[in-house]
Amino acid sequence: MEYELGVLSDVDYPALIALWRRAGLEHKPRGRDSAAEYQRQITLSMVRFICAWTTTEERSVGRTLVGSILATHDGRKGWLNRLAVDPRHRRRGLAGRLISAAETWLRDQGLEIHACLIEGWNTTSLRVFQHYGYLDFKGVHYLTKRRDDDV
């Protein structure tokens, strides 16, 4: 199976949500993961939704979104978020290709520190990021303040 990496566009939102569901990622459809919020985010210069599509020899057959990662930054640190690989396409190096593409984009933005936050239940993502050189930084507390649970 061949994969084509690219950047998600304004028409890819339904495919992204379908991928997140297949991959078991939670999403907030009335908040930060809503269609309107997605449309806003893809226009920001500090946000890049990188994706992986299956490729076919005959383009008319179509293609399927099978991987994605969200790279963002605040001007001093890059963040890798929402890594998702369709379960049928795991263990083929696709996660590594997505992480590498996100890191390249962040380095191109002048960022040398890359970080990710992984929820405790997501041991698969923890193992993947550790495999690609990310270290569990002990002693850091993640604090958050949210308007409500949907953001």
Residue 25 belongs to domain spanning:
3-131
- What pLDDT is attached to residue 20? 96
Please choose, from the candidates 131, 75, 71, the residue with its C-alpha nearest in 3D space to the C-alpha of residue 101. 71
Backbone φ, ψ for residue 51 (5° rounding): -135, 165
If one counts the domains in the chain, the total is 1
Q: Can you give the CATH number for the domain in which 38 is found?
A: 3.40.630.30
- Asked if the structure places residue 124 within a domain, the reply is yes
- pLDDT band (50, 70, 90) for residue 147: confident
List, for residues 60-100, the tens digit of each pLDDT value: 457 899 999 999 999 999 999 999 999 999 999 999 999 99
Q: What is the pLDDT of residues 105-119, one digit of tens each?
A: 999 999 999 999 888
What's the pTM? 0.90
* 143 in a structural domain: no
